[in-house]
């Protein structure tokens, strides 16, 4: 009888611990920190030619690129295609989350140039924002995000490899990395974890 009482107590304790853990996971999960608060910006979405405003209330996966980039930019945008599929599966694509790519070479990357470039990745305006426009706006954004880039006379642009996850209020809440090689792609699991958490806020 005593043995059964101990067993009952143990089971009750386990249930309480599990319930507490579940409560913490669903209600008390630590929020992602605010890393940076860039100024709201407006640029042109080359996919459809429309003006894009960062104040649209959506979570954003944001990367910088340029169309003549020979390596990590096209690899990263190819991984955007994979992100699109995962976001669609979660019913987040376009409605809650968008994929943003901002050129750091806007004088070369005109809307016409980028529209053709974006078609290589089957980008659609529903969720892809392939942006170009005023270089002052772009330069301000890169500085606020501490994203380094420098263009050589040859046209080659040396640039950082960060990717930024922004919440609905345009605040940077997580930083990931662009693809480095075909063997080192974007960490899609890491990005999706952050995105799904922010989409619920």
* 61 shares a domain with 135: yes
The average pLDDT across 50-64 equals 97
* 122 shares a domain with 99: yes
Inform me whether the pLDDT recorded for 193 exceeds 70. yes
Inform me whether the pLDDT recorded for 13 exceeds 60. no
7 within some domain: yes
Reported as a pLDDT band with limits 50, 70 and 90, residue 197 is very high
Rounded Cα distance between 12 and 72, Å, is 54
* 153 shares a domain with 85: yes
35 within some domain: no
* 175 shares a domain with 91: yes
The answer to whether the beta carbons of residues 93 and 192 sit under 8 Å apart is no
Predicted TM-score (pTM) of this structure: 0.84
96 within some domain: yes
* 147 shares a domain with 113: yes
* 49 shares a domain with 4: no
Mind listing the pLDDT tens digit for each residue in 71-108?
999 999 999 999 999 999 999 999 999 999 999 999 99
8 within some domain: yes
Supply the range of the domain harboring residue 195.
42-199
Residue 118 belongs to domain with CATH number: 3.40.30.10
Inform me whether the pLDDT recorded for 126 exceeds 60. yes
pLDDT of 30 reads 82
36 within some domain: no
* 141 shares a domain with 50: yes
The answer to whether the beta carbons of residues 79 and 185 sit under 8 Å apart is yes
Inform me whether the pLDDT recorded for 4 exceeds 70. no
* 155 shares a domain with 97: yes
Mind listing the pLDDT tens digit for each residue in 18-39?
444 443 344 445 899 999 999 9
pLDDT of 5 reads 52
* 19 shares a domain with 117: no
């Amino acid at each position: 009888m005593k043995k059964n009482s101990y067993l009952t107590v143990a089971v009750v304790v386990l249930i309480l611990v599990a319930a507490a853990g579940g409560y913490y996971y669903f209600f008390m999960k630590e929020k992602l920190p605010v890393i940076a608060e860039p100024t709201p910006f407006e640029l042109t979405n080359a996919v459809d030619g429309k003006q894009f405003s960062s104040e649209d209330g959506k979570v954003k996966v944001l990367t910088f690129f340029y169309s003549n980039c020979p390596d990590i930019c096209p690899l990263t945008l190819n991984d955007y295609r994979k992100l699109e599929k995962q976001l669609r599966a979660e019913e987040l694509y376009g409605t809650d989350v968008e994929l943003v790519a901002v050129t750091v070479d806007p004088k070369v990357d005109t809307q016409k140039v980028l529209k053709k470039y974006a078609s290589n990745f089957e980008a659609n305006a529903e969720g892809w924002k392939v942006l170009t426009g005023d270089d002052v706006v772009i330069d301000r954004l890169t500085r606020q995000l501490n994203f380094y880039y420098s263009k050589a006379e040859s046209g080659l642009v040396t640039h950082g490899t960060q990717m930024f996850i922004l919440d609905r209020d345009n605040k940077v809440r997580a930083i990931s990395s662009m693809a480095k090689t075909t063997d080192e792609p974007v960490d899609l699991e890491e990005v999706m974890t952050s995105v799904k958490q922010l989409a619920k806020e």
